Amino acid sequence: MSAPKILMQRGLDHPGKSHTLETYEATGGYRAVRKALDMDPLAIQQEVKTSGLRGRGGAGFPAGMKWGFTPRDSEKPKYVVCNSDESEPGTFKDRWLLENDPHTVIEGIMIAAIAIDCHLAFNYVRGEYSYQGQCFQKAVDEAYAKGYLGKGILGSDYDLDLVVHYGAGAYIAGEETGLLESLEGRKAMPRNKPPFPAVEGLFWCPTVINNTETLAAVPWIIENGGDAYAQYGTEKSKGTKMWSCSGPINTPGVYEVEFGVEMMGFVEEYCGGLMEGVGLKGIVPGGSSVPVMKPEQCQGARMDYEGLLERGSLVGSGGFIVIGDNVSAVDCLLNLAHFYAHESCGQCTPCREGCGWIEQLVGEIRNGNGRQANLTKVLELADAMAGKTICALADAMAWPAVAFIKNYPEDFAKLCAGGVDLEALGEAVSRHDHILPRAS
């Protein structure tokens, strides 16, 4: 039995045609949805639970459990929403799927819809993904023309419509309740929870929201069984993961591997190693919002949920950013601070004020006008932000801020006017690094 590949399972044998319905059907596409139509919805949910599939958008919540939260006896309509608002810096795996394997995503959406008795589904596509949205829309049109979508799917009495909706270029719309607000026509401001979307989501009706990669894994699971999928990966991190690899590496791109591979082995085997003349400064394994790992943390690290948490970071959305030793940690943090200050929706004071304040403080250091007090203030702000807002955008700023200062204090000390007492800075870091993710 072959490994559960999402990526390139069709593209390798059909270069340039992996996105077409013809290729998808020729390689077994839509067999899983035929099977799902003959299954009890609860049985579909159970297979996904058995598989151990967790959300691939960053939160890592068990997909089958999320589906099971939708009330079966609700008189309201139910919705499935695919979250293709891929805006996390360093992450571009969903882009690959929308361009090259859109029918896998469509089939995953269909199976999720059948599992919760949904008859109207949406794919919310990042506003900047105009081309990718067009690719997906073309695949949707093909599916309608062949009877996979619309009335009486595949001769059954089951109806399903799928709408492609474009965002307006807001990072915050990637947060699931912010996405719902945007989909309903309002500014993408995250909602307080509870209620959770599975109970009151789109138009305050039961809604399942899953990331593009998550849904793309579902057809293989239904066709081959949850137990088969759970054979891959590790005991607690099941299946495969797509990693978007960038930085000074010889073969950047999107790679799908089983959970649990060793990080530096992955860098050498898949990423082609670092470019000539560049040493390793660190790796951000899960997109810009997760803590950076120093080289010594990377050695022997397992690329799975538990393995990265043990090393002080997270799988996140799989944005695998390699940082060369020719880059300053100050520049890295300033770049991230500028992004998060710009993308904060402004709803929560700690995030609205904190992101901009951190950008200002780090900017002063970068320009040679900052002092040690700038660094201690950044650490205090991060502590005041993490875990204290409606959504996790404040954490996405706070974690990198503390991690970069903790791991590369010398980079900041070089640019601070009057120098830095590294021992005192280390003590300040120790007072605030409790906000960083760590294994319990």
- Please, what are the domains in the chain? 21-230 (3.40.50.11540), 240-324 (3.10.20.600), 329-435 (1.20.1440.230)
CB 325 within 8 A of CB 410: no
Q: What is the pLDDT of residue 1?
A: 43
Q: Mean pLDDT throughout 257-279?
A: 97
pLDDT tens sequence across 386-423: 999 999 999 999 999 999 999 999 999 999 998 999 99
Nearest alpha-carbon partner for 264 in 305, 300, 237, 216: 300
CB 399 within 8 A of CB 419: no
Place of tokens 């599992």: 115
For residue 91, pLDDT beyond 70: yes
3-state secondary structure of 150: strand
pLDDT tens sequence across 143-158: 999 999 999 999 999 9
Q: What is the pLDDT of residue 13?
A: 57
Q: What is the pLDDT of residue 5?
A: 56
What does R_g of the chain's alpha carbons equal in angstroms?
22
Q: Beta 319-324 vs 79-84: how paired, if at all?
A: unpaired
pLDDT tens sequence across 298-346: 999 999 999 999 999 999 999 999 999 999 999 999 999 999 999 999 9
Helix (H) or strand (E) holding 66: helix 63-68
For residue 8, pLDDT beyond 50: no
Say what the pTM is.
0.94
Q: Mean pLDDT throughout 126-143?
A: 96
Cα distance between residue 267 and residue 120, in whole Å: 41
CB 99 within 8 A of CB 131: yes
Mean pLDDT across the chain:
94
For residue 351, pLDDT beyond 50: yes
